[in-house]
Amino acid sequence: MKTDTVLLQIKNLKAYFSSTLVLKDISLDVSTNKVVALIGPSGCGKSTFIRCLNRMHEETPEAHVQGEVILNKQNIYAPSADPVLIRRKVGMVFQKPNPFPGMSIFDNVALGLRLLGIRKRSVLEEKVHSSLVQAALWNEVKNILKRPGTSLSGGQQQRLCIARTLATTPSVILMDEPTSALDPVSTMRIEELIRHLVQTVTVVIVTHNMQQASRISDNTAFLLNGELVEYEKTSRLFTNPSDPRTEQYITGRFG
Amino acid sequence: MNYLSPTPRDFYRKYFSHFMMGILALLSCIALVPFIAISFFIIQKGWDGLSLGFFTEIPAPPAEGGGGMGNALLGSAVIVGMASLLGIPWGMGAGIFMSEYPGQKLGRILRFTIDLLTTVPSIVVGIFIYHLVVIHYGFSAFAGALALCVIMLPIVAKSTEEILRLVPQHIREAGLALGLPRWRVIINILIPGTYSMLITGVILAIARIAGETAPLLFTSLGNQFYAQNLSEPTSTLPVQIYEFAKSGFKELESLAWSGALVLIVFVFLVNLTVRSILFLYKRRMEK
């Protein structure tokens, strides 16, 4: 068995909305090819936390961040770091499926590649194909690649968004409650997909659903009021939590 | 009594609903009256004056009769074309800036200015260009185009801004999250995603300036003949309609009616064409 290598190291992360502190000094490590789930009640800062990992938090007016996020030995909050380049390495899938309006299924996936300067049709087709296969969507869309992405069902749209993110081969994919707008069958397919993806990428996922966290994640972090209460192997956190607040939350006594 | 059987109050509610619906239908019908009346009136008055010569010839002296408004049609096309060439990119640029960089101080100032500019009466724009350009260089198609451009600018800017604001924020975030710089998000996602609506906004602005009269009185003035170049006084359809309608000569009045007919048919056709292109485009996208 190979030892875990740390891909993402979060050190003393503090996030603010104007002067309100919403993440209070969070430190945790994410290992390569693992799924890390973030759980906690609404408003505890889960979404803000992952939005700090691709520098998306600062896109909100008056929001800012302190601390370090080290991706592959480089601090993404270093003054010289370029958010655009970071986001190509750290992809993101949102709560609501959001294919680009008026854009075909093919173009949705190809956009990121074209941005990287890939113009050759055969290369684009090959990459779009492999991304859609990886996102377990190819068989359903192979004959309708020219249709708008928005014509697909919700679950398919979300897999399209995953394919779009995969196309530019990021090393980390952040997912912000990716299944909360989907039905149970679509949810199951995405969960299977995440387990499959983790062979090649690292996933940090926010979820409201504790069963989901226990089904798909290797490690789980429990956040409460912007504080990291506990970060443990998922099997351990759900069976033998060390903090009483974690136990109260996972047994449904609050939240 | 069955517990679903209606009480007298329910009867009243139903009739009240029908009554209100009837009032709305009636008001809707009344709203159609001006359009139908204007069309009917202008077709009746203007139809007889239409001939091939109307589109190619210059106005004949009143005593001779006949002649056409070819010079005015060409003048309008040239002036509206030049105004659009400058006004569309300028207005869209301002609209994009207002929608996509709302935090910038410049954006706030711009929005305020554009809002004010929308309310400036078009004749004031005419006087402004008269003082700025015409006094120094004389009446010309250039001056006319500049005046129309100033009128077009806030219309295009506002419609662009409003359309882009319809795009939900999470679509922009999806683009940024993919590693697109902000300008790429605008050019590769927002504009292609909304371009059918953006074009509609632009076309409506073109149709609007095509009918403007007041600002052209001070700028392009008018010309009995075909203008030889862009720095000469140039006749336009609305101004020529205005001149002929008050001329007192029957023949010229008849030309004015025909001109009015051509003007509304143009505006109508532009709208129709845009709509059918959009319709076909949408259908193609859905296949």
pLDDT for B284 equals 62
Domain span at residue B80? 69-286
Domain span at residue A35? Answer: 6-250
What is the distance in angstroms between the Cα of B89 and the nearest Cα belonging to chain A? 22
pLDDT at B33: 94
In a domain, A48, yes or no: yes
Residue B278 lies in a domain: yes
- Note the pTM of the prediction, 2 decimals: 0.83
For residue B195, list chain A residues with Cβ-Cβ distance below 8 A: 102
Interchain CB distance below 8 Å, A102 and B193: yes
Closest CA relative to residue A243, chosen from A231, A234, A235: A231
The CATH number given to whatever domain includes residue B144 is 1.10.3720.10
pLDDT of residue B1: 57
Give the DSSP letter of residue B1.
-
**Mean local confidence (pLDDT), B248-259:** 90
Distance CA B276, CA A25 (A): 58
Question: Which candidate from A84, A104, A164 shows the least CB-CB separation from B181?
Answer: A84
Please provide the average confidence, as pLDDT, over all residues in chain B: 90
Size of interface A-B (CB pairs under 8 A): 79
Q: Tell me if A87 and B176 make a contact (CB, 8 A cut-off).
A: yes
pLDDT at B107: 85
In this prediction, residues B26-45 reach a mean pLDDT of 93
Residue A63 included in any domain: yes
- Strand A227-233 with A20-31, pairing: unpaired
Q: Is the pLDDT of residue B262 over 60?
A: yes
Higher confidence at residue B77 or residue B49?
A: B77
Is A103 in contact with B189 (Cβ distance < 8 A)? yes
Q: What is the pLDDT of residue A3?
A: 61
Q: How far is B267 from chain A (nearest CA, A)?
A: 28
Question: Considering the domain boundaries, does residue B20 fall inside one?
Answer: no
DSSP A63-130: EEEEEEEEETTEETTSTT--HHHHHHHEEEE-SS--PPTT-BHHHHHHHHHHHTT---HHHHHHHHHH
Q: A255 in a domain, yes or no?
A: no
Q: Which residue of A has its CA nearest to B102?
A: A61
Examine residue B12 and state whether it is found in any structural domain, yes or no.
no
Find chain B residues with C-beta within 8 A of A86's C-beta: 179
Q: What is the pLDDT along chain A (255 residues), one digit of tens a residue?
A: 456 789 999 999 999 998 999 999 999 999 999 999 999 998 899 999 999 999 999 988 889 999 999 999 899 999 999 999 999 999 999 999 999 988 999 999 999 999 888 999 999 999 999 999 999 999 999 999 999 999 999 999 999 999 999 999 999 999 999 999 889 998 999 999 999 999 999 999 999 889 999 999 999 999 999 999 999 999 999 999 999 999 999 888 765
Q: Is residue B273 part of a domain?
A: yes
CATH of the domain at A181: 3.40.50.300
C-alpha span between B263 and B46 (Å, rounded): 11
Residue A103 lies in a domain: yes
CA dihedral A47, A48, A49, A51 (to 10 degrees): 90
In a domain, B156, yes or no: yes
Number of domains in chain B: 1
| A1 in a structural domain | no
Query: Which residues in chain A have their CB less than 8 angstroms from residue B173's CB?
Result: 56, 59, 92, 94
In a domain, A181, yes or no: yes
Of B260 and A255, the structure prediction assigns the larger pLDDT to B260
Integer Cα distance of B285 and B287 in angstroms: 6
Whether residue A171 lies inside any domain: the answer is: yes
Minimum CA–CA partner of B100 in chain A:
A59
What is the tens place of the pLDDT at every residue in B210-244? 999 999 999 999 988 898 999 999 999 999 999 99
* Total tally of structural domains belonging to chain A: 1
Query: How many angstroms separate the CA of residue A72 from the nearest CA in chain B?
Result: 18
In a domain, B226, yes or no: yes
Residue B101 included in any domain:
yes
Per the CB < 8 Å rule, is B174 touching A98?
Answer: yes
What is the number of alpha carbons within 13 Å of residue B171 lying toward its C-beta? 24
In a domain, B170, yes or no: yes
Average pLDDT over residues B26-35: 94
Tell me the mean pLDDT in the region B198-210.
89
Q: Which of B167, B184, B286 sits opposite A101 (nearest CB)?
A: B167
Q: Per the structure block, which two tokens stand in for A46?
A: 């889960």
